[in-house]
Amino acid sequence: MNTTADAIIIGGGIVGAACAYYLSERGLAVHLIERDFPASGTSRACDGLILQWDKLPGAELSLGLASQKLWRDLAAELDAEIGFEQAGTIFLAEQADQMEAGKEKANALSASGQRAEVLTPGELRELEPELALDLAGGVLFPDDLQVDPRRATLAMLAAARRRGARITTGEAVLNFQRAPGDNPAITGVITPGGSIAAAHVICAAGVWSAEITQLAGLSLPIRPRKGHILVSDIRPKKIHHPLLEGGYATTVQLAAEDVQVALVAEMTASGSLLLGSSREFAGFDRRVSLAVIRAIAQRAARFLPHLAHSSVIRSYAGLRPWSPDHLPLIGPCEQAPGFYLASGHEGAGIGLAPITGKLIADWVTGAALPPYANAVLPDRFDPIKGSKTNVLI
Amino acid sequence: MKTTDLAVIGAGPGGLAAAITAAQAGLRVTLIDESPRPGGQYLRGTGRQATQSIPRAEQRTRAFLQQLPHPHIDLQTGTLVWGIDDRTLALHGPNGNFNLQAEQIIIATGGRELVPPFPGWTLPGVMTLGAAQILTKEYGLLPGKRIALAGSGPLLLAAASALLAKDARIIAILEATHPGAWLPHVNALWGNFNRLLEGNAYLRTIQRHKIPYRFGQTVIQATGKGQLEYIVTAKLDPRGRPVPGSEKEIAADTLCLGFGLIPNTELAQLAECQHEYSTTRGGWVPARDKYLQTSQPGIYAVGEAAGVGGADMALMEGQIAALAITRRFNQIPALQRQLRPLRRFAVMLNTLFAPPLALNTLASDETIICRCQEVRAGEIRQAVRQGNHTLGGLKNSIHIGQGQCQGRTCGPLLTRLIASQTHEPPEAAGQFRPRPPLKPISLGALAQEQRP
């Protein structure tokens, strides 16, 4: 069956769901296509922390702060339990030099209107009694947020559906429809169920975006960056804030090829403790590596020694869509009019999903754009701009 | 890292046979079992009175067991295999957490009991046949004072026999299937006289104690305040649906349930062995070649873990896999010939005593299906109606299968619940994907450094 829509979104993860949410809010007829089921990819293999202190000042932090505000609005707008909490996060300093780095981050964020409280070792332990006794201190960032990514994805999709969006699951996009002749414009997609025509086609396929853009003749510089998470049942004990070791920001910003491990600990609404994190380039292999989960357990035991007897019940690995300059790719592609990207968020996809959806809605409807919109335009990468060598992946 | 020529996981009949057979050819074998003693659930669960003869499979299993300790076998008991990465196994036991690199692997992880859920099945006093047998055999305890048994298949009789050996008071044995279904399977009985005699011995014990043994009946509800007090029984029509008006309430403090076994496939799944669905072998099983090798070269699967068929079959399969690994191929055809009638018999038992799919509709919307996270049947049915026809989809739309047991208990139930609602074949629902650790281990143990 052949149908039409104003905008087609490819991908039903949190970014695709946010695009559907904000596009349908502007009154557009949206059709989202997900090849498996909602949140079946990276959006259910990640933590739900929405941080600002890991962002570099400039476009990255501007995006983060804008999205933080949108998440607060969403928590009120969405008529569903999405595990939203202003839990804050605590930066943990193992040694004095990390404490200095923490203070610098505190100052930088304070300048942007974010609260930050530098904690002495005593104050840190008062907030989190399970922590090791020998830490140099920490910084509490009370404005950081937490959501349940899977529930938030489902809630945004449900809201979009109530506004008339069509959501097709279990169907993959086979190809694009093109304008006749030499016109490079994209005019729709072809699926096993038929063709869908639309003036705007948005690729929100996360780490699998390169597969999609290849159909449009575009190469993407997005690479999968693998991460592991352990799930622990620590009841009756608990931690009160999400905890991240100071070295975490470094592992985020470094594009090292080998495995980077830094502790991230987050309690979920159901009472389990999620323990991360790792970063490595391992292709599309989502198998759990025994060595990596051991390394994560070691970092967890280093900072939370009282949890040594808690049981680990599961582990999983997910793939983050890594982009070479650590900024996402959001907006239209010059080489293929009508085609937009909303991808390449690496580990910040949950945090940046709302601002991504809103920017896409701004582009599609021709609304005024914030200054940082240009910094994330996909065309900053050569292959997308249309250089002769369309080979970089 | 520790290395071994052959790692055998599970020291029940199949694993013991495999380990001894391989060690006899000079291989360095590491035999691993979660229990403190080798022998598996099989030796733990044998219920027999002094007057009964010892079944052939038990004699053979004990003969293999007597060859331990063996100079070529490193026996690791109380040890859990919680992960596998290519041919490296992650183990946790009394010696801590360590990796074992194996040239070859035989998975002999056995099976577990299947119990379709019904209202009241989570009450204290309701347990599996296996749990009742462990209480009686291992601890010399009777599970209760007025015991009812319900389920299907030979394990029902074996458990009853074990309980009677300890003078338990059994008020009823309810076999859900109908005896009329036997006739088409007469061929499979050929060559299985030992198994029949074993069953007959159990039957005579039950008759001597004058215990009501009813075919075509089961328990459809259990009630009581904080503890089982009453069971409601009903007759089942040939399709397994309760016959209205046939319900009877009976006082009981213990209800033991067992509707046959399903294979423990989690390790084979984690090793990324291809699986297939077989209703005649207990559900999902790893695909194997004639030497019992899985789709992963060097990884073999034997016994209940690869298809429910009893101890005789597990013993044969363990030997065949070990002979193939030690390249003594000339000895294999004889064993394969002995295996054939056993397989036919297993197919017959599994077909005859398969719990009817309709039993999966007994659960009311209030009945808890996922015990770890207290997810009820109503929530699951609604999610299925909304289009979640796979275990993966269900896990994503409602929080299920992510607690302490990681879907080990609810996964097979969900497969059947979905199938009874969608009328699609059970395999269409897929499986949960197991992740390490296969069973919970402590964070401290996981963090432990490898011994050099």
Chosen from B84, B400, B441, B446 to mutate, greatest number of chain A CBs within 10 A: B446
Q: What whole-number distance in Å separates Cα of residue A153 and Cα of residue B61? A: 54
Higher per-residue confidence, A252 vs B184: A252
Q: Tell if the CB–CB gap between A312 and B444 is shorter than 8 Å.
A: no
Please tell me the predicted confidence (pLDDT) of residue B187: 59
Taking contacts as CB-CB distances below 8 angstroms, the residues of chain A near B448 are 294
The burial of A333, by beta-carbon neighbours within 10 Å (0-12 exposed, 13-18 middle, 19 or more buried), is given as: buried
Spell out which residues of chain A touch residue B444, defining contact as CB-CB under 8 Å: 301, 308-309
* B411 interfaces chain A, CB cutoff of 8 Å: no
Q: Tell me the pLDDT tens digit for each residue of B368-415.
A: 999 888 899 999 999 999 888 999 889 888 888 888 888 998 999 999
Token pair listed for A264: 């991230």
**Cβ–Cβ < 8 Å for A188, A33:** no
pLDDT value of residue B193: 58
Q: Which of A197-211, B181-195, B265-279, B325-339 has the lowest mean pLDDT?
A: B181-195
CA–CA dist A391, A218 (Å, integer)? 9
| Radius of gyration in angstroms for the set of CA atoms belonging to chain B, rounded to a whole number | 22
Q: What is the 3-state secondary structure (H, E, C) of A108-158?
A: HHHHCCCCCEEECHHHHHHHCCCCCCCCCEEEEECCCEECCHHHHHHHHHH
Say whether residue A147 is in contact with chain B using an 8 A CB cutoff: no
Q: Is the pLDDT of residue A262 over 70?
A: yes
More reliable by pLDDT, A252 or B295: B295
pLDDT at B16 over 90: yes
Per-residue tokens: B98: 């360590």
* Angle, alpha carbons A28-A32-A37 (nearest 5°): 150
If one compares B45 and A304, the residue with the highest pLDDT of the two is A304
B393–A307 CB contact, under 8 Å: no
The pLDDT of residue A379 = 92
Which percentage of chain A shows pLDDT scores above 70? 97
Closest CB from B99, B396, B442 relative to A309: B442
A387 pLDDT more than 50 = no
| CB-based contact B339:B189 (threshold 8 Å) | no
Whether A37 and B392 lie within 8 Å, measured CB to CB: yes
Q: Are A201 and A7 in contact (CB under 8 A)?
A: yes
Helices (H) and strands (E) in chain A, counts: 10, 20
Cα(B227)–Cα(A133) distance, rounded to whole angstroms?
A: 46
Per-residue tokens: B15: 């694993």
Contact B435 A288 (CB under 8 A): yes
Q: Beta-carbon neighbour count of residue A374 at 10 Å?
A: 12
Q: Supply the pLDDT for residue A376.
A: 97
How confident is residue B50, by pLDDT bands cut at 50, 70 and 90?
very low
Judge: A314–B387 Cβ closer than 8 Å, yes or no.
no
Cβ within 8 Å, pair B406-A313: yes
pLDDT interval class at A164 (50, 70, 90) = very high
Give CA–CA dist B169/B158, Å, rounded. 15
Q: What is the ipTM of this complex?
A: 0.87
Could you tell me which of A206, A210, A204, A287 has the C-alpha nearest to residue A42?
A206
The pLDDT mean for chain A works out to 93
User: What's the pLDDT at B186?
Assistant: 58
Nearest-neighbour CA in chain A from B437: distance (Å): 6
Q: Enumerate residues 6+ apart whose C-beta is below 8 A from A163.
A: A24, A25
Residues comprising chain A, all counted: 393
Rounded Cα gap, residues A106 and A271, in angstroms:
29
- Report the candidate in A357, A368, A355 with the shortest Cα–Cα distance to residue A9: A357
The C-alpha atoms of residue B114 and residue B132 are separated, in whole angstroms, by 15
Q: Is B224 on the interface with A (CB under 8 A)?
A: no
Residue A392 is predicted with a pLDDT of: 35
Q: Is A346 left (phi over 0), alpha (psi -120 to 50) or beta?
A: left
- Write out chain B residues lying below 8 Å of A315, CB-based: 435-437
Q: Does A269 touch chain B (CB under 8 A)?
A: no
pLDDT at B162: 85
Least confident piece of the model among A91-100, A103-112, A379-388, B114-123: A379-388
Cβ within 8 Å of A, B 344-403: 373, 387-388, 392-393, 396-397, 399, 402-403
Least confident of A270-274, B33-37, B435-439: A270-274
B440·A300 Cβ contact <8 A: no
The predicted pLDDT at position A250 comes to 76
Per-residue pLDDT band at A389 (split at 50, 70, 90): very low
8 A C-beta contact, residue B201 and residue B53:
yes
For range B265-284, the mean pLDDT: 95
Which pLDDT belongs to residue B82? 96
The lowest-confidence range among A144-158, A159-173, B202-216 is B202-216
- Residue A268 at interface with chain B, using a CB cutoff of 8 Å: no
Q: Over range A249-258, report the average pLDDT.
A: 73
Cα distance between residue A283 and residue A286, in whole Å:
9
Parallel/antiparallel/unpaired status of strands A175-178 and A30-34: unpaired
- Output the CA angle A150-A154-A160, nearest 5 degrees: 145
Q: Are A352 and A46 spatial neighbours (Cβ–Cβ below 8 Å)? A: no
Task: State mean pLDDT over A78-90.
Answer: 94
Cβ contact, residue pair B447, A287, below 8 Å: no
Alpha carbons B315 and B64: distance in angstroms, whole number: 10
| Partners of residue B83 in chain A, C-beta under 8 Å | 288, 290
Return the H-helix or E-strand segment holding B277: strand B275-278
Does any CB of chain A come closer than 8 Å to the CB of residue B85? yes
Residue B140 phi/psi, 5-degree rounding, is 65, 25
For residue B315, give both structure tokens. Answer: 């013993």
Instruction: Yes or no: say if B249 and B231 are a contact pair by the CB < 8 Å rule.
Output: yes
Q: Touching check for A44 and chain B: CB below 8 Å?
A: yes
Encode pLDDT of B312-340 as tens digits. Answer: 999 999 999 999 999 999 999 999 999 99
The pLDDT of residue A385 is 62
Mean per-residue pLDDT of chain B: 90
pLDDT per residue as tens digits for the range A291-304: 999 999 999 999 99
> Please, are residues A37 and B393 in contact by the beta-carbon 8 Å criterion?
yes
pLDDT tens-digit series, residues A96-120? 999 999 999 999 999 999 999 999 9
Q: Is the dihedral of CA B292, B293, B295, B296 positive or negative?
A: positive
**Contact in structure between A340 and A332 (CB atoms under 8 Å):** yes
Specify burial of residue B28 (Cβ count, 10 A radius: 0-12, 13-18, 19+): middle
> Which H or E run contains A186?
strand A186-191
Q: Which pLDDT band holds residue B136 (cuts at 50, 70, 90)?
A: confident
Kindly list the residues from chain A whose CB atom is less than 8 angstroms away from the CB atom of residue B437: 312-315
Q: How many helices (H) and strands (E) does chain B have?
A: 14, 22
Specify whether the CB–CB gap between B32 and B107 falls below 8 A: no
The Cα of B440 is separated from the nearest Cα of chain A by a number of Å equal to 5
Query: B122: how many CB neighbours lie within 10 A of its CB?
Result: 13
Q: Choosing among B388, B443, B451, which should be mutated to test the A contact, i.e. which has the most A CBs within 10 A?
A: B443
pLDDT for B208 equals 85
- The tokens describing B417, both together, are 């619940």
Q: Do B437 and A297 touch (CB under 8 A)?
A: no
Smallest Cβ distance to A308: which of B399, B437, B443? B443
Say whether pLDDT at A391 is over 50.
Answer: no
Contact A311 B392 (CB under 8 A): no
Put simply, the answer to whether B437 touches A315 (Cβ < 8 Å) is yes
DSSP B204-260: HHHHHTT--EEESEEEEEEE-SSS--EEEEEEB-TTSPBPTT--EEEE-SEEEEE--
Size of interface A-B (CB pairs under 8 A): 84
**Predicted pLDDT of residue A351:** 98
B276 and chain A in contact, CB less than 8 A: no
Q: Which among A311, A315, A316 is the top mutation candidate for probing chain B, defined by the most B β-carbons within 10 Å of its own β-carbon?
A: A311
User: Are A316 and B270 in contact, with CB atoms under 8 Å apart?
Assistant: no
Q: What residues does B284 pair with on adjacent strands?
A: B277
For residue A89, the SS3 value is: strand
B99 chain-A contacts, CB cut-off 8 A? 290
Contact, B12 vs B40, CB < 8 A? Answer: yes
**A44 contact residues in B (CB cutoff 8 A):** 396
Which residues of chain A make contact with B373, given a CB cutoff of 8 A? 270
Question: If phi over 0 gives left and psi between -120 and 50 gives alpha, with beta otherwise, what is residue B435?
Answer: beta
Cβ proximity of B218 and B176 under 8 Å: yes
Answer yes or no: do B437 and A312 touch at CB < 8 A. yes
Q: Do B83 and A232 touch (CB under 8 A)?
A: no
Of A44, A301, A311, the CB nearest to B440: A311
- Tell which B residues from 230 to 269 touch A, by Cβ distance under 8 Å: none
Q: Is the pLDDT of residue A349 over 70?
A: yes
User: Which of B85, B90, B447 faces A301 most closely, judged by CB atoms?
Assistant: B447
Do residues A361 and A210 make contact, with C-beta atoms less than 8 angstroms apart?
no
Q: Which residue has the higher pLDDT, A183 or A388?
A: A183
